[in-house]
Structure 1
Amino acid sequence: MKKRLSPRSRLTAVCLAGAMTLGLSAAQLTAGAAPAEDSSAGATAAATDNGLRITGPKKVDAYAYPGEKFAFIDSARYLAAPQVGYEFVTKRDSYGATPVMTVTTVDGGEKGKTVTVPARLVDGMNGIKNGLRVRIVNSKGKELFDKKRTLCPTGYDAQRVAPNGPSEATYPTFCGGNWFTRSVVFGVDQGWAANIEAYADVAGVKIGHKLTMTTAITKPVARLLGIPDDERTLTQKVTVRNAEEEWGDDDGFAGEPVEGFSAEGADVGQLMQDVSPGTAAAGGIEDPGVVERTPNRYLADEIKRADKARASKKPGTKGASPRVANPGGDTLPDLVAEPAWSIGTERQGGKDRLTFNAHEWNAGPGPLVVEGFRRPNKAVMDAYQFFYEDGKQVGHAKTGTMKYHAAPGHNHWHFLDFAQYELVTPKGDLVTTSGKQSWCLVPTDPVDMLVKNATWRPESIGLDSACGGKEATWLRESLPVGWGDTYVQYQTEAFDLTGVPNGTYKIRITVNPDGNLHEVTDENNVSLRKVVIGGKPGARTVKVPKIDGVDTETGDLMFATETARTAGTASTSSHAHDHTHTH
């Protein structure tokens, strides 16, 4: 049966899978009580009015399409912190290290006591494992749905519940990360309530049916956090409505996501979920064999540099020399290339290709902001890097070119001077280069939310990425501090293996390859990932050794040191910033 989702449900199911919400009793923190490892009676912390409470409307709607016995429920359920805020921090020292989560109360902007969450309850960077349970029954009491979910309090759809907290929600809108995420921050602000993303796909129901849904923080977590039984559970009456009457025909739901992001945050967390070992989403990835693809209309012309033209003294002003800024250290970004992952092979356009995910991020302390100013009557923009100090623009410098990319799944502007992807020999000799030669920079992955000047809510800082349409005369792309951008390299953006003999190679990712961007240092601009290519034409294979003891290709540390992979698409689905799905 085909499952059809609303625009919001697509965001929920794809972008925020596993992201839920919870809080911590102020009594436990202020008393300094150690978190209980045991979920048995007696492990309860005293609850007060400062603690969190689950809340929401008593009557809500689900949606089904005519003729289908399937409904989607995404009702408003919140965890409120009316008196004291709660900040969750998860961090790890290396790729393979066990994440450590702490919870701190925040009152009037002042941080209180900090408690460490037991390791057994930490689901990687995603939140607290099995902390939420959603159960749905029909009008006759028959159980239709009963699942536990990872909990994570975030700023997505945050609602103000009291006047005593900050005027705007401060925490990130989702939880999760990628293999190389160092730290994440999430929480519920004082005087605010965070949405519990406890969505549910329910089979066996149709338009007009009446259901009862119970959403509860699981007992072990509630006891740990000092949430009493009468405040950890929410029961809602559900009526199944006609989805076509609400949203119209769902054909539009399958449209391509927009490259860039809006204040809605819809693209920022598009596929954000940590699948590191020990997470709820971890496990072996099925091998579907060599993937056959039809050719992409990504033409060779796209990878050529734009025609030469005189630069501008003031962006958008033709004919003068550029003003080169001498930016101070705190205004500069620090661009970092992480190793490739989700590596596989595919057969496309009669060629064997090596697919992979590439990721570059900004370690700060300043944001990377690049703006394009269109040359008159040309599909070319001059690109400038802008520098900010204390939130104010303090300078700019000419840094490259942007070009309009007219191709299915794109039809927007790309920056041509950001990164380079190469397959090299163990000695570093070039074998082949990726067809990916241009970028629309968007913060897709939080990498380190504790680094100096890290931006927790990039969609709200006023420096949004927007890749522009055909008629655009100006646009801005950015990587805020602490964030990276992940690209899925397949089809012509992958490595062409034609004529490449079997053997050991390295995927070399270089950010800022020409040095055109001003940054703190270039010492971390290159990453290398070992791969072993085998098989025969039409059925090439790749083995990917672990990195720092972590097998990024299966999500399971118990697998062998080298894992044979023959397809990239199955593994890339949980980490890609994809626009059908390549940028």
Structure 2
Amino acid sequence: MNKRMSSRSRLTAVGLAGVMALGLSAAQLTGASAAEDAAAPAAAPESDLKIMGPKNVDAYAYPGENFAFLDSARYLAAPELGYEFATQRTSYGATPVMTVTTVDGKQRGKTVTVPQELVDGMNGLKDGLRVKIVNSQGKVLFDDKRTLCTGGYDTQRVAPTGPGEPSYPTWCGGDWFTRSVVFGIDQGWAANLDAFVDLNGVKIGHKLTMTTAITKPVAQFLGIPEDQRVLKQKVTVRNACTSYEWGCEGMAGEPREGFSTVGADVAELMQDVSPETAAMGGIQDPGVAERTPNLFLVDELEAEADAKASREPGTNGAAPKVAAPKADTLPDLVAEPAWSVGAERQGGKDRLTFNAHEWNAGPAPLVVEGFRRPNSAVMDAYQFFYEEGEQVASAKTGTMKFHAAPGHNHWHFLDFAQYDLVKTNGDLVTSSGKQSWCLVPTNAVDMLAEGAVWRPESIGLDSACGGKEATWMRETLPVGWGDTYSQYQTEAFDLTGVPNGTYKIRITVNPNGNLHEVTADNNVSHRKVILGGKPGARTVKVPKIDGVDTELYAEMAFEADTARAAVGTTTSSTTLSHDH
């Protein structure tokens, strides 16, 4: 749910003056003398950073539509020096602090703190990018500032310097539990800038001009010269149906194919559903007749299957093949407090919904592999231990079972976490209807942790949840990463018969102790919730944690994601919570 909640307030005159006076000079970043720093002018000396891209690009519209979308190639390049940005905070409610360091080969320059006026939380440089589009008559169609993030999948090499492969994460941002994030541009590389735009009042054949710029306060801090901070591109609006190989035929598809809701009564499907569930395509009443299944609106089927799935714990673990794994080969599994808590009415029952998050603080990855028993839908699970990237030991750690629900059809590990609603004294009230998962690194939590992996997709230990015919599979959590689970519908807590009052959501990672890890001291978290209302209309209040209202954040993020979905933006989110 990478929720980008950037403030749009402009810098004050005092703040701007401070930024200009600080100026991220080459001397500061490369560790030059104090005398040289003092001699630097108010505006930073020129750096080699520059914005670049083709002069002519295309936007796309569908026939008869008065609407177009474009995401042209726009890059911030660093031919001679790499630039690394790191943001961290000491607690949930602490103000994030960002630093920037230059990198020349294996030599790191001096680290400089970014002025707070330019920091947009964990998301990047506040209002650092401006996109403006005008038509052939000079009318402004779009003019927007957005947070500057140099993370992106489409990185390009621009000079024969620096590393052979990009090293920084492909995203920016974080949620309330994020401890640190890193983004940057490798030496000799260019980062794709997030400048996706949707345009109304535009048709096929229209000619436009788009200007993308690093805003002046950020450019002055980074030392980007005036003639290198602005990119102007000519835009031609093309026919989307003739511009792509597959054309427009069959793009709607059938609802059961998961392409669209054509043929499904969406209004009926989405009746009386909570905003949180609606955001995930949840269905209020699984008893609605004559509806057409759809992969985006099939959660009621998944919920029914989850309710029937086995919740028995996996088989007992075993000692590793070595006497005891070294501490630096073990993960450290951490349970964060529940968040995005809410109440919903589903299937004739009141339920308490929530998000749960568990992550690996390191120093080593969690690697669990399953080996299928002959003629069985069960796998024996083993934990593997790695030292300097090499497998050094293993231990039997539980069981995996195949989960055949729509939208799942993959293997679940039975020994990772447990979710309970308890009284304030710890007595059990009820448990979640979901107690098995396919582990996937969805959330970056601490990219500055020892052994943290910045690009888990490139380390060769990808999670693969496996299909029906699989005989082997691997599930992993790299260091610094976690997995967020959205518990709603039958996976949420059933509140039938639960009186109003104060309770706690208890999240336990490694509940059976089968997984070998550094410590179990941080395996359990609690989040206070106060239930109210009456049957059919239950309410829930969630006190702040460390001064942070995570529920307000969730509401804002939901609204932002809904707005982005409405215009089809491709901006990725930090939290990719899933129900797997």
Aligned residue number for residue 304 of structure 1: 311
**TM alignment of 1:455-470, pairs within 5 A:** 455-470=453-468
SS in 2 for 1:221: helix
**TM alignment of 1:344-363, pairs within 5 A:** 344-363=342-361
Contact kept, 8 Å, 1:155 with 1:186, in 2: the verdict is no
Aligned residue number for residue 377 of structure 1: 375
SS in 1 for 2:228: helix
Q: Within the alignment, does 1:476 sit opposite 2:474 as a pair?
A: yes
**CA distance in 2 between partners of 1:239 and 1:568 (Å):** 33
**CA distance in 2 between partners of 1:554 and 1:202 (Å):** 30
| Aligned CA distance change for structure 1 residues 568 and 182 (closer, same or farther; 3 Å) | closer
Identity, in percent, stands at: 73
| Aligned CA distance change for structure 1 residues 193 and 288 (closer, same or farther; 3 Å) | closer
Q: Within the alignment, does 1:248 sit opposite 2:255 as a pair?
A: no
| Aligned CA distance change for structure 1 residues 91 and 322 (closer, same or farther; 3 Å) | closer
Q: TM-score, normalised by structure 2?
A: 0.82
**CA distance in 2 between partners of 1:440 and 1:399 (Å):** 15
**CA distance in 1 between partners of 2:558 and 2:53 (Å):** 39
Aligned residue number for residue 285 of structure 2: 294
- Show structure 2 runs of 5+ residues with no match: 7-22, 260-273, 287-299, 563-572
Aligned residue number for residue 5 of structure 1: none
**CA distance in 2 between partners of 1:252 and 1:84 (Å):** 48
Kindly provide the amino acid, as one letter, of the partner of residue 26 in structure 2.
Answer: A
Q: Within the alignment, does 1:106 sit opposite 2:103 as a pair?
A: yes
**TM alignment of 1:126-141, pairs within 5 A:** 126-141=123-138
**TM alignment of 1:161-176, pairs within 5 A:** 161-176=158-173
**TM alignment of 1:442-521, pairs within 5 A:** 442-521=440-519
| Aligned CA distance change for structure 1 residues 195 and 16 (closer, same or farther; 3 Å) | farther
* C-alpha deviation, 1:138, in angstroms: 1.3
Aligned residue number for residue 81 of structure 1: 78
- What's the CA shift string for 1:534-581, capped at 9, x where partnerless? 01111111000000111111139xxxxxxxx9x9976998665345xx
- What's the CA shift string for 1:381-423, capped at 9, x where partnerless? 1111111000000111111111111112211111111000010
* C-alpha deviation, 1:498, in angstroms: 0.7
SS in 2 for 1:303: coil
* C-alpha deviation, 1:244, in angstroms: 2.6
* C-alpha deviation, 1:338, in angstroms: 0.3
* C-alpha deviation, 1:43, in angstroms: 4.2
Worse-superposed segment, 166-175 or 57-66: 57-66
Kindly provide the amino acid, as one letter, of the partner of residue 251 in structure 1.
Answer: A
Contact kept, 8 Å, 1:446 with 1:482, in 2: the verdict is yes
- What's the CA shift string for 1:269-304, capped at 9, x where partnerless? xxxxxxxxxxxxxxxxxx969976233233333133
Kindly provide the amino acid, as one letter, of the partner of residue 312 in structure 2.
Answer: R
| Aligned CA distance change for structure 1 residues 115 and 211 (closer, same or farther; 3 Å) | same
**CA distance in 1 between partners of 2:218 and 2:74 (Å):** 18
Q: TM-score, normalised by structure 1?
A: 0.82
Contact kept, 8 Å, 2:168 with 2:185, in 1: the verdict is yes
**TM alignment of 1:56-455, pairs within 5 A:** 56-154=53-151, 156-245=153-242, 246=244, 247-249=246-248, 250-251=251-252, 293-295=284-286, 296-297=300-301, 298=303, 299=305, 300-305=307-312, 323=321, 326-455=324-453
Aligned residue number for residue 26 of structure 2: 26
Contact kept, 8 Å, 1:155 with 1:187, in 2: the verdict is no
Pairwise CA RMSD: 3.0
SS in 1 for 2:399: strand
SS in 2 for 1:462: coil
Where is the helix percentage greater, Structure 1 or Structure 2? 2
| Aligned CA distance change for structure 1 residues 465 and 212 (closer, same or farther; 3 Å) | same
**CA distance in 2 between partners of 1:243 and 1:43 (Å):** 48
* C-alpha deviation, 1:24, in angstroms: 6.4
Contact kept, 8 Å, 2:340 with 2:354, in 1: the verdict is yes
* C-alpha deviation, 1:108, in angstroms: 1.5
* C-alpha deviation, 1:71, in angstroms: 1.4
**CA distance in 1 between partners of 2:277 and 2:223 (Å):** 51
* C-alpha deviation, 1:329, in angstroms: 0.7
**CA distance in 2 between partners of 1:178 and 1:147 (Å):** 24
- What's the CA shift string for 1:121-164, capped at 9, x where partnerless? 11111101110000111122111111111011125221111112
| Aligned CA distance change for structure 1 residues 322 and 191 (closer, same or farther; 3 Å) | closer
Aligned residue number for residue 20 of structure 2: none
* C-alpha deviation, 1:326, in angstroms: 2.9
**CA distance in 2 between partners of 1:177 and 1:256 (Å):** 29
* C-alpha deviation, 1:446, in angstroms: 1.0
**CA distance in 2 between partners of 1:395 and 1:458 (Å):** 21
SS in 2 for 1:341: strand
**CA distance in 2 between partners of 1:16 and 1:528 (Å):** 24
SS in 2 for 1:555: helix
* C-alpha deviation, 1:177, in angstroms: 1.6
Contact kept, 8 Å, 1:211 with 1:239, in 2: the verdict is yes
Aligned residue number for residue 267 of structure 1: none
- Show structure 1 runs of 5+ residues with no match: 1-13, 37-41, 258-286, 314-320, 557-564
Contact kept, 8 Å, 1:401 with 1:416, in 2: the verdict is yes
* C-alpha deviation, 1:243, in angstroms: 2.1
- What's the CA shift string for 1:22-77, capped at 9, x where partnerless? x966355345899x9xxxxx7421104xx200001111111222222111111111
Contact kept, 8 Å, 1:27 with 1:45, in 2: the verdict is no
Aligned residue number for residue 12 of structure 2: none
**CA distance in 2 between partners of 1:500 and 1:204 (Å):** 53
* C-alpha deviation, 1:110, in angstroms: 1.0
| Aligned CA distance change for structure 1 residues 129 and 156 (closer, same or farther; 3 Å) | same
* Aligned with residue 528 of structure 1, among 501, 504, 526: 526
Contact kept, 8 Å, 1:337 with 1:509, in 2: the verdict is yes
**CA distance in 2 between partners of 1:135 and 1:570 (Å):** 24
SS in 1 for 2:112: strand
SS in 1 for 2:551: coil
| Aligned CA distance change for structure 1 residues 46 and 492 (closer, same or farther; 3 Å) | same
Contact kept, 8 Å, 1:325 with 1:396, in 2: the verdict is no
Aligned residue number for residue 46 of structure 1: 45
**CA distance in 1 between partners of 2:254 and 2:114 (Å):** 39
**CA distance in 1 between partners of 2:322 and 2:175 (Å):** 36
